[in-house]
A = this chain, B = another copy of it.
């Protein structure tokens, strides 16, 4: 494992904890204190797991993952990243996951828990601290208001729904007309009904409305 954190004291703490709680399970092969060092250390030592601080000089942990992913691995498996941070802010967590981390734990974690988390990430598991699992899964599950959608959407006729779908995808009236073998004027009539029924006022609002509800 590679330990990346800008505080040497913290890295020493991780080493000490893992030496006792994780003896024989987790081996620290190297340390790094900023983004450049981290990228070099990954290339040199090819660790299975990188314990990665989120707030790191030189672009943060996300930058490390981005640069490691951009470099050729020479056929070797890329390391798995376990993010470690004092922050439990949603944007940090989600940004880190988007960046490619396979886990995110806060620094309130105990040594034994850290050993377990590292082991799990090494096995391919996803690991999240309790408070963070909520962010990740909620963001992933999305804000799908099933009940509200149906009530509005059911007011539309079949033909109106077809027109709505195409308009929301950015089709011009002319293109919708050609696609559905009807006149432009009919498309305008349907669109007028759609906007009125959905209480929207333009095709742009309609596009956002449909996009938020994943109707495209």
Contact = CB atoms under 8 A, between A and B. Distances in A.
Interface in A132-159: 132-134, 136-137, 139-142, 144, 146-147
Each complex incorporates copies of this chain amounting to 2
Given A66-B146, A211-B211, A128 B131 contact: no
Given A66-B146, A208-B170, A131 B124 contact: yes
A99 interface: yes
Q: How large is the interface on A (under 10, 10 to 19, 20 to 34, 35 or more residues)?
A: 35 or more
Nearest to A167: B204
Nearest to A104: B126
A137 B141 contact: no
A189 interface: no
Q: Is the interface of A mostly helix, strand, loop or mixed?
A: helix
In this complex, the member of A126, A127, A141, A169 whose beta carbon has the largest number of chain B beta carbons within 10 angstroms is A126
Given A170-B202, A204-B207, A207-B204, A137 B133 contact: no
Contact of A204 (B123, B139, B142, B170): B170
A78 interface: no
Contacts of A106: none
A193 interface: no
A98 interface: yes
Nearest to A117: B125
Nearest to A208: B170
A137 B102 contact: yes
Given A97-B140, A126-B133, A140-B140, 12 more contacts: A66-B146, A70-B146, A98-B144, A99-B141, A100-B141, A124-B134, A126-B136, A170-B202, A170-B207, A172-B202, A172-B204, A211-B211
